[in-house]
């Protein structure tokens, strides 16, 4: 059975960017499946400020983000998509014409736009009575409906079940309850602000016990099936989920393993103190689980986590910070090379160095940087017409360097690029 999602929503109108970002980060750690952040202001300056907030959220919060915007033109949809959000939510009553949906879907794909409908407004509640609007927005390329202010009746259940698009329900849970909304056929998610400050992992477990098909951490291998050491423990190697840096080694007993699964935070058994130990419970340096794997002998776990602060009690990011032996060069992976060079470019921008070619480009400004990118791209084309592979390699490296200078000038980093590629594929 496909899991149904719990999506906290944040009304960003009249909120500071920092407040919205902090709330989004808390939801990301609490077990939310995605986020819905909206600001339906028609004031252009407020909309632009909201796009800036969305860019920060998509960089800092490891969750799919749905962004609700009042789009008057295709350009508004484009700006919203370019913030890195997964989908854009458009309020139906503020859409000038269905052509706007069609243009957005043609440019960004049929999975990008969600149409919000207000069930409390008789003028726009017609999708619950008639199929005309649903047919219209689907034919224009909408990916789904988000319905707010819903009163659940048998008739409404039937209409949502038969809708030609998947339905998300937005509800404050003051009249309806989560279990009822999730039980409705064709409802794929419920967006609510009711769970702010609450442990969504714990709420999901309670919902699951009541029969709701929500996503919780579950393992196909029980702790009893794992091979433990003589003390009944299994070692856990912990890595950063983004760059695979090895952070630490710890041990779990069955209670620690089950607690990790239940809470989404790494919990270990302290051999020194002989008790359970939630990583970060004293320092605040929690580890949030991204994945768990077991080795071929079923006697070692590999955890990939989102690490808050330092993993080591010494204050170092990793416990493995002391080098004992190094022979020869250690080959860097491709991503690490790009990151290292890009960091040097950013450092030159922040701390100019006399005689630096990179600083020369920054001093000359965007037009010079663009000119160089164009020239280097042309050099690649010319080199590719020749049989010399070395020349192609050299010209591509030149282009990539100038492209990274352009990225730094425009405030774009590699996470933005790889995030966009990930969304597409």
Task: Quick: pLDDT tens for 327-358.
Answer: 766 667 788 889 889 999 999 999 999 889 99
Please compute the mean of the pLDDT values over residues 166-195 and round it to a whole number: 95
- pLDDT above 60 (res 124): no
Average pLDDT on 66-92 reads: 93
Predicted confidence (pLDDT) at residue 44 exceeds the cutoff of 80: yes
Q: What pLDDT, in 10s, does the model give residues 237-261? A: 999 998 889 999 999 999 999 999 9
Segments making up each domain of the chain, as ranges: 5-209, 223-307, 334-424
Helix (H, G, I), strand (E, B) or coil at 164: coil
Q: What is the pLDDT of residue 126?
A: 47
Helices (H), 122-238: 132-140, 154-162, 178-182, 200-209
Q: Using N-to-C axis directions, what is the helix angle for 98-108 and 132-140, rounded to 10°?
A: 40
Query: What is the per-residue burial (b if ≥16 Cβ within 10 Å, else e) of 69-108?
Result: bbbeeeebbebbbebbbbbbbbbbeebeebebbbbbbeeb
187 HSE (CA, 13 A, CB side)? 29
CATH 3.40.50.620 holds for 223-307: no
CATH superfamily of 5-209: Aldolase class I (3.20.20.70)
Q: What is the mean pLDDT of residues 131-147?
A: 88
pLDDT of residue 127: 44
pLDDT, mean of residues 250-277: 95
Element (H, E) at 10: strand 5-11
Which of 253, 251, 261 lies closest to 232 in space, CA to CA? 253
pTM, 2 dp: 0.81
CATH number of 334-424: 1.10.287.1080
Cα–Cα distance between 399 and 377 in angstroms, integer? 6
Fold match between domain 5-209 and domain 223-307: no
Place of tokens 């440019």: 107
Measure Cα distances from 90 to 145, 317, 360 in Å. 10, 42, 44
CB 293 within 8 A of CB 301: yes
């Amino acid at each position: 059975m496909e899991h149904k999602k719990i999506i906290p929503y944040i009304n960003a109108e009249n909120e500071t960017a920092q407040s919205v970002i902090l709330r989004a980060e808390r939801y990301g750690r609490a077990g939310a499946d995605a986020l819905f952040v909206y600001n339906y202001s028609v004031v252009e300056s407020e909309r632009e400020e909201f796009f800036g907030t969305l860019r920060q959220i998509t960089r800092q919060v490891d969750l799919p983000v749905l962004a609700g915007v009042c789009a008057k033109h295709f350009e508004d949809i484009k700006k919203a998509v370019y913030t890195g959000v997964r989908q854009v939510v458009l309020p139906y009553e503020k859409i000038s014409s269905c052509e706007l949906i069609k243009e957005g879907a043609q440019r960004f794909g049929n999975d990008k736009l969600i149409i919000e409908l207000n069930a409390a407004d008789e003028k726009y509640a017609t999708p619950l009575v008639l199929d005309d609007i649903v047919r219209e927005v689907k034919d224009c390329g909408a990916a789904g409906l988000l319905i707010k202010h819903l009163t659940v009746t048998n008739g409404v259940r039937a209409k949502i079940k038969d809708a030609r698009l998947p339905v998300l329900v937005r509800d404050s849970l003051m009249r309806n309850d989560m279990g009822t909304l999730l039980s409705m056929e064709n409802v794929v998610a419920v967006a609510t602000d009711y769970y702010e400050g609450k442990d969504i992992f714990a709420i999901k477990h309670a919902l699951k016990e009541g029969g709701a098909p929500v996503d919780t951490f579950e393992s196909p291998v029980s702790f009893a099936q794992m091979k433990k050491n003589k003390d009944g423990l299994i070692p856990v190697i912990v890595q950063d989920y983004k760059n695979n840096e090895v952070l630490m080694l710890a041990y779990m007993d069955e209670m620690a393993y089950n607690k990790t699964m239940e809470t989404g935070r790494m919990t270990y058994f302290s051999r020194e103190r002989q008790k359970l130990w939630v990583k970060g419970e004293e320092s605040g340096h929690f580890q949030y689980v991204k994945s768990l794997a077991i080795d071929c002998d079923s006697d070692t776990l590999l955890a990939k986590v989102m690490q808050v602060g330092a993993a080591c009690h010494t204050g170092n990011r990793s416990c493995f910070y002391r080098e004992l032996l190094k022979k020869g060069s250690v080959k860097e992976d491709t991503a690490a090379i790009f990151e290292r060079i890009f960091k040097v470019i950013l450092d030159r921008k922040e701390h100019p160095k006399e005689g630096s070619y990179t600083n020369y480009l920054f001093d000359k400004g965007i037009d010079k940087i663009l000119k160089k990118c164009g020239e280097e791209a042309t050099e690649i084309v010319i080199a590719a017409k020749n049989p010399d592979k070395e020349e192609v390699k050299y010209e591509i490296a030149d282009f990539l360097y100038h492209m990274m200078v352009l990225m730094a000038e425009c405030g774009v980093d590699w996470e933005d690029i790889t995030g966009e590629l990930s969304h597409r594929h």
